[in-house]
């Protein structure tokens, strides 16, 4: 009890704010050297620091700067106090409220903790072969998850990671919503939500398994989850189509889309609906993809015998699924979009991924579509990512003129090309 009281008194003494900075510097020096040795420099001294250091060191500390011998402070001077029976290292740990370890000791402790954690995780998943394969990928890339080991208790993180591994190893037979999937795996519909660490960990594991980058946007996240037969934004992620049909899972032609096509009316297809089809086709041999709803509407009225798809300025997952299906079925896809860096990048992706044929995306069409809206140099740099040779001339001209062009100004030209 006497020793405990002495330790408490010592802790209170060195917890004085006059020692705060010097003890932190001594701690850092110990971590580097592995012993109480070397020198530390304390600058911009405050009056309270001068007072406490002068009393402890037995000499007058003045000026704005003081050099302190660590061994003298931690051993020689400490042994001359009434606290000499105590261990200065133990006192330092109590005052700073952290373990006083060398960098080497910290590294060894981390390695032991990590090894123990991974062994416990392995025991949780080894009964399921699919989960064990995912575990090996997680283990190989564990540096990407180490931060969570510091944030959560070992038991808590084991539980989270175990469920995420189980989820990554469990691909639904049929496409289902993220909330339904999360309920089946974790009994919590929000367990894999984007704002939760468990959701981020799940996406990280899927990225590793698919050899893909961690999704930076909501659209990339939707694509990654879709590869695992999971969908999000079932209603807000949609595709506007005209003259497009579909085959359902039972190999029957969808009657609803057929009626819309016969009545020559457009229809919005959300992911919720798209997931139930196994194949898409065009009621026309010409599948035309455009960027803007206004142009979509004008073409629908001027060329009623074609099939149309509108990206609405974004290449969403819903649109990609439809285009992928049409491309696989051998339909020729034509594309026309706005003349700006973002529009050309969309055009490039559709050309590269679905073999689309650009229509009215040439230099002459660009000049006819010109506006007075200037393109910043920052946006022009995006053109470096265009890979399709068919778009190189337009890119070159755009860099020269630094002006945007819009589809609406060349609709008649597009109609003429489609009718020819």
DSSP single-letter state for residue 142: G
Residue 253: which residues within 8 A CB-CB, separation 6 or more? 245, 246, 247
pLDDT by residue (tens digit) across 146-190? Answer: 999 889 999 999 999 999 999 999 999 988 999 999 999 999 999
Measured CA to CA, the distance from residue 129 to residue 113 in angstroms comes to 25
The bridge status of strand 403-405 relative to strand 370-374 is antiparallel
* Contact present, 379 and 415 (Cβ < 8 Å): no
129-140 helix and 154-168 helix, angle to the nearest 10 degrees: 120
Confidence of residue 226 (pLDDT cuts 50, 70, 90): very high
Angle at 365 between CA 364 and CA 368, to 5 degrees: 90
For the segment 52-86, what is each residue's pLDDT rounded down to a tens digit?
999 999 999 998 999 999 999 999 999 999 999 99
Q: Phi and psi (nearest 5°) for 312?
A: 55, 40
Q: What's the rounded mean pLDDT across residues 77-100?
A: 92
Helix (H) or strand (E) holding 301: helix 293-302
| Whole-angstrom distance, CA of residue 402 vs CA of residue 275 | 41
Residue 2: what pLDDT? 65
Residue 15 has pLDDT above 60, yes or no: yes
What are 352's two structure tokens? 């590269």
Read off the tokens for 84.
């000499």
Report yes or no on whether pTM surpasses 0.85. no
Res. 281: pLDDT tops 60: yes
pLDDT tens column, 260-280: 999 999 999 999 999 999 999
**Contact yes or no for 277/329 (Cβ under 8 A):** no
pLDDT in tens, 338-394: 999 999 999 999 999 999 999 999 999 999 999 999 999 999 999 999 999 999 999
């Amino acid at each position: 009890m006497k020793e405990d009281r002495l330790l408490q008194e010592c802790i209170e003494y060195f917890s004085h704010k006059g020692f705060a900075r010097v003890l932190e510097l001594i701690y850092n020096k110990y971590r580097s050297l592995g012993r109480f040795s070397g020198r530390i420099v304390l600058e911009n001294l405050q009056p309270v620091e001068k007072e406490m250091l002068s009393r402890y060191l037995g000499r007058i500390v003045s000026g704005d700067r003081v050099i302190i011998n660590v061994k003298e402070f931690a051993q020689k001077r400490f042994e001359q106090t009434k606290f000499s029976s105590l261990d200065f290292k133990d006192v330092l740990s109590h005052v700073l409220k952290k373990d006083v370890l060398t960098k080497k000791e910290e590294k060894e402790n981390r390695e032991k903790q990590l090894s123990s954690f991974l062994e416990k995780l392995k025991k949780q998943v080894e009964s399921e072969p699919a989960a064990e394969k995912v575990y090996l990928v997680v283990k190989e890339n564990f540096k990407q998850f180490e931060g969570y080991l510091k944030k959560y208790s070992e038991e808590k993180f084991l539980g989270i990671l175990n469920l995420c591994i189980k989820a990554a190893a469990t691909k639904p037979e049929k496409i289902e919503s993220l909330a339904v999937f999360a309920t089946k795996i974790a009994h919590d519909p929000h367990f894999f939500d984007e704002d939760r660490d468990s959701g981020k960990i799940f996406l990280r594991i899927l990225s590793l398994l698919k050899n893909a980058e961690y999704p930076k946007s909501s659209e990339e996240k939707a694509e990654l989850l879709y590869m695992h037969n999971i969908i999000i934004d079932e209603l807000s992620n949609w595709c506007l189509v005209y003259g497009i049909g579909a085959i359902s899972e039972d190999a029957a032609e969808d009657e609803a889309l057929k009626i819309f096509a016969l009545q020559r009316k457009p229809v919005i297809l959300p992911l919720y609906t798209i997931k139930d089809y196994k194949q898409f086709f065009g009621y026309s041999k010409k599948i035309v993809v455009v960027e803007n709803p206004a142009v979509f509407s004008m073409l629908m009225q001027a060329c009623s015998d074609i099939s149309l798809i509108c990206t609405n300025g974004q290449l969403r997952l819903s649109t990609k699924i439809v285009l992928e299906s049409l491309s696989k079925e051998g339909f020729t896809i034509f594309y026309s979009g706005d003349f700006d860096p973002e529009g050309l990048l969309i055009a490039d992706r559709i050309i590269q991924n679905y073999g689309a044929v650009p229509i009215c995306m040439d230099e002459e069409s660009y000049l006819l579509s010109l506006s007075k809206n200037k393109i910043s140099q920052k946006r022009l740099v995006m053109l470096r990512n265009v890979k399709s040779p068919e778009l190189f001339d337009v890119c070159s001209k755009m860099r020269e003129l630094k002006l945007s062009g819009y589809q609406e100004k060349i609709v008649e030209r597009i109609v003429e090309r489609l009718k020819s």
